[in-house]
């Protein structure tokens, strides 16, 4: 991933230094298991661990010649270990080490993403509680619907990102498997107890069955989960972008002192962070498609998945880490304009209470169709002539036959309409 969208901690997870250290960690864990189960002398792991080291430049130089990264790595380490290096990679195939190490790196990346999600959840919770009763209009199809609150809007996203946190934890659990089962997964050269020992030491679970690789449906689920989180972020960013439109301007993302919005128009304050998040979410979804295509491989294994995974796992986790951090800052410093919300709510002149009127008429004995027509006729006067909806109802003789002025006035009660908001917050634990 380009530096512009990369945060240091996540970059470190996918650095060559971390990758090779993790490879060595796996190889040493296998050595420990081999000694434990007496495949090799008991003193070998300590000797190798003391001497095992590598230089990234040396690994890459060897790889240029042998065209095999694992062999290059093992050769570079062996140069420092000496004769006892013959026990490294004993009974293993490349994917025993690669897939097990990848699971460890994904766990580390997920730890950072879980922290990011928790930070965003805290920010959303704060805004939800702060604006629990901040009145605004709800929109369906972009058109005024019924009154709601900005707090409910934030609470909705809070609930969605709680689900995303659960999804990520499940997906991480499902990809946290290692394997030391050999070239086609038959344990031809090592007993399954070696694999169990190694995985326990590394904080993984042994794959119940594998071929030469751990099956990629696990990895596809993980990448798809990252894409779902990205789509939720895009949804939240799109909501803020919509609310920031000049015609609406009920909320807007932070705009720093000295920041400039346009090279041509000095007045501009553009939602550039939210737009960036929307764009980067597309990459997360495309990477998920790569993960899905990696599920299908030839027979017990080919390496068509390998090259793609070198890109999509670092890029997806790095990008998600970046956009979660950006969105958290947007929510923390979001500018919210309650007065504009109230003004916008009043622009539809009370039509947001049309359903309340419909239900009152139904309670008086009208069929739904009859009541709907009466209310719609009054709303047309509001749409076409600008007559306040309450006045249109009061002037409609058909309506007044059944609803008194007091009953009509009672329809236009925001507090009554939103009386159950607190119960929704209670459900969410906010």
Where exactly are the structural domains of the chain?
103-179+211-252+265-342, 351-411
> What is the predicted pLDDT for the residue at 296?
95
Q: Report the interhelical angle of 150-175 vs 94-130 (nearest 10°).
A: 170
**What is the spatial distance between Cα 86 and Cα 207, in angstroms, rounded to a whole number?**
26
**201-248 tens-digit pLDDT:** 999 999 999 999 999 999 999 999 999 999 999 999 999 999 999 999
Sort 365 into a burial class: Cβ within 10 Å, 0-12 / 13-18 / 19+: exposed
> What is the predicted pLDDT for the residue at 1?
87
Which of 50, 68, 262, 410 is catalytic? The answer is 262
Residue given tokens 């449906």 in the structure block: 217
**250-261 tens-digit pLDDT:** 999 999 888 898
Residue 141 catalytic? yes
- CATH number, span 351-411: 1.10.40.30
Residue 262 catalytic? yes
Question: Which pTM was predicted?
Answer: 0.95
CATH class (in words) of the domain with range 103-179+211-252+265-342: mainly alpha
- Asked if 416 and 135 count as a contact pair (C-beta separation under 8 A), the reply is no
> What is the predicted pLDDT for the residue at 256?
87
Quote the percentage of the chain above a pLDDT of 90: 94
Q: With a cut of 70, list the residues of the chain below it in pLDDT.
A: none
> What is the predicted pLDDT for the residue at 257?
87
**What is the spatial distance between Cα 275 and Cα 212, in angstroms, rounded to a whole number?**
42
> What is the predicted pLDDT for the residue at 363?
93
- Tell whether the torsion through CA atoms of 325, 326, 327 and 329 is positive or negative: positive
Q: How far is CA 324 from CA 52, 219, 229, 296, in A?
A: 38, 21, 9, 31
Structure tokens at 297: 């491989």
Q: Give the max Cα distance, the chain.
A: 102
Which of 141, 267, 299, 397 is catalytic? The answer is 141
> What is the predicted pLDDT for the residue at 262?
84
DSSP element (H, E) containing 336: strand 335-336
Mean pLDDT of the chain: 96
**What is the spatial distance between Cα 122 and Cα 141, in angstroms, rounded to a whole number?**
30
């Amino acid at each position: 991933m380009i530096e512009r969208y990369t945060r240091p901690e996540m970059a470190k997870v996918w650095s060559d230094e971390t990758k090779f250290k993790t490879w060595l960690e796996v190889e040493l864990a296998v050595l420990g298991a081999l000694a434990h189960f007496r495949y090799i002398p008991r003193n070998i792991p300590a000797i190798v661990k003391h001497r095992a080291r590598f230089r990234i430049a040396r690994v890459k130089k060897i790889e240029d010649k042998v065209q095999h990264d694992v062999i290059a790595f093992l050769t570079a380490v062996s140069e420092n270990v000496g004769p006892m290096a013959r026990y490294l990679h004993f009974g293993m195939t490349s994917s025993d080490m690669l897939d097990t190490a990848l699971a460890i790196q994904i766990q580390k990346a997920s730890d950072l993403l879980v922290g990011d999600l928790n930070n965003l959840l805290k920010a959303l919770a704060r805004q939800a509680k702060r604006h629990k009763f901040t009145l605004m209009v709800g929109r369906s199809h972009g058109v005024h619907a019924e009154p709601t609150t900005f707090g409910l809007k934030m609470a909705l996203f809070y609930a969605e990102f709680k689900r995303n946190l659960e999804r990520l934890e499940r997906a991480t659990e499902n990809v946290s498997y290692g394997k030391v089962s050999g070239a086609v997964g038959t344990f031809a050269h090592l007993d399954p107890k070696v694999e169990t020992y190694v995985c326990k030491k590394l904080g993984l679970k042994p794959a119940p069955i594998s071929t030469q690789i751990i099956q990629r449906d696990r990895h596809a689920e993980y990448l798809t989960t990252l894409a779902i989180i990205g789509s939720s972020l895009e949804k939240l960013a799109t909501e803020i972008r919509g609310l920031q439109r000049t015609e609406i301007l009920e909320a807007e993302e932070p705009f720093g002192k000295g920041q400039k919005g346009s090279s041509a128009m000095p007045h501009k304050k553009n939602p550039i962070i939210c737009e960036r998040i929307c764009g980067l979410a597309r990459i997360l979804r495309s990477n998920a498609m790569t993960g899905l295509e990696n599920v299908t491989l030839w027979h017990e294994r080919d390496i068509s998945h390998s090259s793609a995974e070198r890109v999509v796992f670092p890029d997806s986790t790095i990008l998600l880490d970046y956009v979660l951090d950006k969105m958290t800052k947007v929510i923390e410093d979001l500018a919210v304009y309650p007065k504009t919300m109230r003004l916008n709510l009043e622009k539809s002149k009370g039509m947001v209470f049309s359903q309340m009127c419909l239900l009152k008429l139904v309670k008086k004995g009208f069929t739904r169709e009859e009541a709907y027509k009466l209310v719609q006729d009054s709303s047309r006067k509001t749409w076409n002539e600008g007559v306040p909806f309450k006045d249109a109802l009061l002037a409609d003789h058909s309506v007044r036959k059944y609803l008194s002025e007091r009953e009509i006035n009672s329809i236009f009660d925001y507090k009554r309409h939103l009386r159950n908001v607190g119960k929704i917050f209670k459900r969410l634990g906010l």
